[in-house]
Structure 1
């Protein structure tokens, strides 16, 4: 009988990026690691549930969904989400930050102070600086202030982030762009008094992600499918994205496509899942 695993997503820990699996197992994703897995030929992608609870009907979900949840479970998950602005009584302190993803691509966001840089790593922020820290609702008001006064968005599409990772400007240039926006942000009138402003201090993740010398991508995995195979060598990991050197070129796999499938070790070194081509252009441990 073929042994299968179910992935629960990519996690950023102190030791770097890892794929997490049901049952608690983790697989490291250091540069040069071989990633090779196949979707069971008879597999169907099922909803991963919400808030730690299984989907009551094990609903089938689209292979293109990055949420891997049915409509009802997605609604329940967002009902308890700080990011969805549905939680107002969280007593924890929150940080307001500016995150840089590429030239002209800076967003404002908030994250629980206790999470440290985890949220920025999860988003694939190449560089960031904190702006302030304080109560949740005050942090939200500051976020809205920056959106309105400086036209800084709170979201940047992943497709845009991926498109600029190869050939990023030097560290000094990206820090300078972030520093200028930080200066303008802290000088605004209307900051909530309960927030403690933070001095500019850039934190750069290009080394952590492995972006130095990263070539342009040749394509992006658009979905997994029953019987499909993905095999390649890790060149970089940024946010949820694996940049893999494969027989079909440098491909990006958004690991949010993996949960909900039953996966097994790949028998062949190939990529047979659907790939959207870029317009710009051996001993296994379990699945690896």
Structure 2
């Protein structure tokens, strides 16, 4: 049985949906913190069990009978994230999984100033130490992040942020399809860390502003501010210090080139072109502008 963790999240749910197109539902299990939110998967024949990385005792039941386990990385950072990931790796090994797959990142690096990246590197080290064959899916930076970074720019017409670098923005749906392929033998040549799985091009925030201008018909100007000023603005808007530091670290890592260049591997795996940022922004901006009633 193929087990997917985090199937109530955006990436985990998308992987489950893609997997349902490739294998019978009874061969799929999901490990989720809230089973009620996954009831629709259960109605379609998927095995739904509670599994929480912070409650290792729950994982033995959630991972029972696993042939493979896809560990979707947690949304925490630091030691909290590492404890959770190690618990999941240990549970997958104990369940007898023949392979563990993990949603890592192209920027995984112990020295990265962006907090999640050292966590990914440490989790990959834990996977190597586990003795279980593994595939670390080094995903490109989620393109949906650009909508968050645009934020107030759509009202103020200014995209104010620290100096940045080019980023190979990548679509959730493309990455979910690649994960489903990996779980069903489509990535047999990948043992250990994959090449970067990215969208088709690298674009910095000046390019994002230009795209937003073209798509909205309103001028959005890229304004560079200092790291300190950006952090102060975030704190003034009520963002916790840890989150402010994380975002400042994102720009520092992009300046180092950690999220570039674009790589052709994802398109090769999918057998089609990957989704350009313009298409993702267009859909996201349309959804933002649509009244919900």
The TM-score, its normalising length taken from structure 1, stands at: 0.28
Work out which structure has the larger RCO, using CA pairs closer than 8 Å and 6 or more positions apart in sequence.
1
Hey, which of these two has a bigger chunk of strand by percent? 1
Q: Determine which structure has the larger helix proportion and give its number.
A: 2
The two structures have a TM-score, normalised by structure 2, of 0.28
